[in-house]
Amino acid sequence: MKYRNSCRETNWHVENPTSAIASRLEPHFNATRPVQTKNPYISPKQLDKRWQVINCEKARHELFDDKAQHDMYRYQKNIENYIGTVKLPVGLVGPLRVNGLHANNDFYLPLATTEAALVASYNRGAQLITESGGASAMLISEAVMRTPGFCFQSLAEAGQFVAWVSTQHDVFRDIANQTTNHGELQSVGVNMDANNVYLVFEFTTGDASGQNMVTIATNAVFNYILEHSPITPQYAYVEANLSGDKKATAQSLRNVRGKKVSVEVVVPKELVKKRLHTSVDAMVNYCRLSATGGVISGSIGVHGHYANGLAALYIACGQDAACVAESAVGITRLEHSANGDLYAAVTLPNLMVGTVGGGTGLPSQSACLDILGLNGAGNAKALAEVTAGLCLAGELSIIGALSAGHFSRAHHKLARHNKPS
């Protein structure tokens, strides 16, 4: 039997009657396309098997070139069912001057993106900050959470469980800390919802972003709880969706997930006019209007476009790109300074960044961290402060463009009429 052609174009609104539409939406059990090898690991044999299934030489030539073949074993712990690599253009932003507790330098930042005008916008903001003497940045706090959940038969059982948990904090800490040389369990909180109990484990994770680290540590404690708890739960799970992992939450806006950083700059009114072609009044008024718009829309936090810079930096530097979902939560403020200059500040409570582990050791991503000068142990806190500075640069640039009426013009010029020189 032949497999169905999943790429076939359909115009069922016009051509197919109701019965045919219903038929297309029903489960089908005819033969599928060839099944790929079940072995998820990287080897020349497994690569050949996967490309035989795909049967697309054009794609193989592009994705599995000599470099992808040469480096393939370096990806062994970062991906399954490997078939090659995707190339993204990388643009350079900077210098961005950051005057931080941990980052204190002029930085060049590599951004990987396919969106025209993005790098140019962030670069404009970075140069404006640098010309204004740099951005002051402070890492305020850091923690990564895992939140196991337990369901009991009654509120009374849940209360007895919580009473026992309160006597076990030192035990939990010892068990968790034995699983890692870099992380540390800092606190254990409790959230009860009738017969449901959520434990909130907060960790520091050193120079790693830390999601895998805290999962392994929490799982060790979780197993201890199931074995030793005097009250047996009806069911329990190592993560019960209270941590804010991979999602924007009001809880994370109030507290911290990853690294919380505030960054500020005072831009002289003359520079606002010279570099952004607008005024301090116009930018403050826009920020006031857009803050109300954000509240009306139900936005968690208020800002312009953190996700643009974060996604591009995360991809370039081997961060978990899915963490942009929580990292792109925060507050941007623009105000008049005492002498009429522009005070601009950004607070980001959920920067999930690291300089070791994850994808940071891969060839291209390690090279991008080298450009930043923040590769390896001892640099994660500095990376968080620089990342916040990048977001501030993006906010100044986009708000400046909107205030000056240049937002659409910049996208039209760079995306549609870019001519090589």
Report DSSP state, residue 245. Answer: T
Three-class SS state of 40: coil
Contact between 95 and 126 (Cβ < 8 Å): yes
| Closest C-alpha to 139, from 98, 171, 107, 173 | 98
Torsion of CA 338, 343, 347, 351, to 10 degrees: -150
The amino acid sitting at 190 is V
List of residues 6+ apart from 331 with CB closer than 8 A: 253, 301, 302, 303, 346, 347
CA distances from 178 to 147, 168, 218 (A): 19, 16, 11
**Exposure string over 213-247, b if 16+ CB within 10 A, otherwise e:** bbbebbbbbbebbeeebebebeebebbbebbbbee
Q: Please state, in angstroms and rounded to a whole number, the distance separating the CA atoms of residues 151 and 317.
A: 40
E strand residue ranges, 337-419: 342-351
**CA–CA gap between residue 344 and residue 396 (Å, rounded):** 8
The token duo for 12 is 């069922």
State the residue for tokens 């500095």: 382
Cis peptide before 95 (omega within 30 of 0): yes
Nearest Cα residue to 391 out of 308, 273, 270, 292: 308
Structure-token pair, residue 125: 């903001």
How far is it, in rounded angstroms, from Cα 93 to Cα 218? 38
Reference 383, options 230, 236, 205; nearest CA is: 205
CA distance 166 to 381: 32
Name the residues annotated as catalytic.
Answer: 115, 320, 411
